[in-house]
Amino acid sequence: MTDQTKEELPELSDQEIKDFLESAPLYARRRYGLPTVNRTSLHIQQIDDHCDVCGERRPFGDIRPKGGGSGMAVPRLDTGRSYFEFTCLTCRRASRRYYVVQFVTDEHVDIEKAGQYPRPRLPRNRHVQRFMADDAANYEKAIACLANAYGIGAFAYYRRLVEDNIGRLLELVREDAAASSSGTETLAALEQLGTNCPMAEKIKIANDAVPAHLKPDGLNPLGRLYGALSEGIHSLSEEQCLNQARLIDQCLAFLLAELADRKKHREEFKRSVGGL
Ligand SMILES: [Zn+2]
Distance 27 CA to ligand 1 centre (A): 26
Distance 28 CA to ligand 1 centre (A): 27
Residue 11 has a pLDDT of 94
210-266 residue pLDDT tens = 888 888 888 899 999 988 888 878 889 999 999 999 999 999 999 999 999 999 998
CB distance 155 to 236 below 8 Å: yes
Q: Spell out, as residue ranges, where the chain has pLDDT lower than 50.
A: 1-6
Helix (H) / strand (E) containing 171: helix 151-178
Distance 240 CA to ligand 1 centre (A): 39
Distance 121 CA to ligand 1 centre (A): 15
Give the torsion through C-alpha atoms of 13, 14, 20, 23, to 10 deg.
-140
Residue 234 has a pLDDT of 86
SS3 letters across 174-243 = HHHHHCCHHHHHHHHHHHHHCCCCCHHHHHHHHHHHCCHHHCHHHCCHHHHHHHHHHCCHHHCCHHHHHH
Distance 25 CA to ligand 1 centre (A): 22
Largest CA distance in the chain: 84
Distance 127 CA to ligand 1 centre (A): 25
Residue 72 has a pLDDT of 64
Exposure string over 230-244, b if 16+ CB within 10 A, otherwise e: ebeeeebeeeebbeb
Distance 63 CA to ligand 1 centre (A): 14
Residue 182 has a pLDDT of 65
Give φ, ψ of 112 to 5 degrees.
-130, 135
